[in-house]
Amino acid sequence: MTSRLSNLPTTLRWLGDRLGYLALLDQTLLPTECREIECRDLESVWRAIRELRVRGAPAIGIAAGYGLTLGLGRLDDESEFFTRLQQARDRLAACRPTAVNLHWALDRVVAVAQRLRGQASIPVIHQAIWDEARRIHEQDRAICRAIGVAGADLLEDGSTVLTHCNAGALATSEHGTALGVIYSAAASGKRIQVFVDETRPLLQGARLSAWELSRAGVPVTLICDSMAAQVMREKRVQAVIVGADRIAANGDTANKIGTYSVACLARMHAIPFYVAAPSSTFDLTLSQGDQIPIETRDGGEISEGFGRRTAPDGIGIYNPAFDVTPAELITALITEFGVIRPVNAGTIRATVGPKTH
């Protein structure tokens, strides 16, 4: 199993020095085509994030951090440099409002530049911005490994896990969060199988999670979203693990639309429901989940997904990209600092409060 982890995809990489460019695996082409796209300016990074060519909360944070460096390296006027930097930060922050990692990474990179303003030359400041983006990238690799190790003990040998959407290598810099737990458990010798919800309307479970799990050698079975209740009723599932895009101070968690339904089903069938996420996904400025902004996307993703119309013209379509799972439905949160259980404001602040935001 361990050797098969080398088959996991590389989601994003930077080529060259601070004046180089960002290469992204175009996830809209998977699973039938594996091709990188080159992002050499801010606009190409914005489009890649907005169009889900790169997606997953940690991955879009990393991409956005690198995106800030593009287009700034050839400026030499300090005022123009910082004006452009702030404009770039605001534009990238607006393209995906729910994932807090995006805002966290942008603010972290901008803060480095602001600390050097008036004290260093523009090339030195630009180098510091690029260094910070690379640091975020490298730290995410270590965080993914730590989350995997922290959560692996929660899975029993021979168990079957259900997951929704994609929180694996394609959503991060390395092994992922939710799928990272599965990879770590399998690498330790445990026999783990996975049910993957297809994840309507954009099929991230079918196109992405099933693809990378199979590449890693983990036995995977794809089901429609509406089949989750039946496989739980048939006692085919012993645990549910998902990722997260934002976690409020009390543990309410925003994740891909459909996650809340899966959590309700897990509670109904007495199946533990785990959320795996880095500390950068926690937004302790929000006391509860109803304060999390929910991105609404174009209705064509439902009525004409992947180029084929499946609904009549002229009807109303509502397409929220995320929903919020209440903390009381979450058995535990798995972070790089360990497992948080029970899930409440006190345990969260004690674990990640001093270390994030």
Q: Let me know: does 294 contact 200? Beta carbons within 8 Å.
A: no
Give the CATH number, domain containing residue 194.
3.40.50.10470
From the list 296, 306, 307, the residue with the least C-alpha distance to 257 is: 296
Which residues lie across from 222 on neighbouring strands? 196
pLDDT of res. 71: 77
From the list 126, 132, 336, 345, the residue with the least C-alpha distance to 247 is: 345
> Quick one: tokens of 167?
């929180």
| Residue 17 and residue 31 share a domain | yes
| Residue 339 and residue 237 share a domain | yes
Query: What secondary structure does DSSP assign to 37-58, as a single string?
Result: EEE-SHHHHHHHHHTTSS-SHH
| Residue 192 and residue 328 share a domain | yes
- Of 127, 144, 161, the domain-final residue: 144
> Quick one: tokens of 340?
């948080």
- Amino acid, single-letter form, for residue 124: V
| Residue 305 and residue 173 share a domain | yes
For residue 71, count CB atoms less than 10 angstroms from its CB and return exposed for 0-12, middle for 13-18, buried for 19 or more.
middle
| Residue 174 and residue 79 share a domain | no
End-to-end Cα, the chain, rounded Å? 36
From the list 114, 168, 105, the residue with the least C-alpha distance to 135 is: 105
| Residue 187 and residue 136 share a domain | no
| Residue 218 and residue 85 share a domain | no
| Residue 98 and residue 21 share a domain | yes
| Residue 158 and residue 140 share a domain | no
For residue 342, count CB atoms less than 10 angstroms from its CB and return exposed for 0-12, middle for 13-18, buried for 19 or more.
middle
Tens-digit pLDDT string for the chain (357 aa): 444 777 899 999 999 999 999 999 999 999 999 999 999 999 999 999 999 999 999 999 999 999 999 978 788 899 999 999 999 999 999 999 999 999 999 999 999 999 999 999 999 999 999 999 999 999 999 999 999 999 999 999 999 999 999 999 999 998 999 999 999 999 999 999 999 999 999 999 999 999 999 999 999 999 999 999 999 999 999 999 999 999 999 999 999 999 999 999 999 999 999 999 999 999 999 999 999 999 999 999 999 999 899 999 999 999 999 999 999 999 999 999 999 999 999 999 999 986 554
What pTM was computed for the model? Answer: 0.95
Kindly compute the dihedral angle of the four CA atoms of residues 206, 211, 214, 220, in this order, to the nearest 10 degrees.
-10
Number of domains in the chain: 2
| Residue 109 and residue 211 share a domain | no
| Residue 24 and residue 166 share a domain | no
- Of 125, 144, 163, the domain-final residue: 144
> Quick one: tokens of 142?
């270590």
Which residues lie across from 256 on neighbouring strands? 322
* Residue position matching structure tokens 């949160």: 333
Containing structural domain, residue 342: 150-355
Contacts of 227 (CB under 8 A, 6+ apart): none
pLDDT of res. 1: 41
pLDDT of res. 73: 76
CA 293 and chain centroid, separation: 16
From the list 132, 128, 123, 6, the residue with the least C-alpha distance to 62 is: 132
pLDDT of res. 152: 97
- Of 144, 165, 193, the domain-final residue: 144
Give the CATH number, domain containing residue 94.
1.20.120.420
Catalytic site residues? Answer: 245
| Residue 154 and residue 250 share a domain | yes
* Residue position matching structure tokens 């409440």: 344
> Quick one: tokens of 123?
């090339």
Angstrom CA distances, 125 to 76, 113, 139, stand at 11, 6, 21
DSSP H helices in 117-237: 122-152, 178-187, 204, 210-215, 228-233
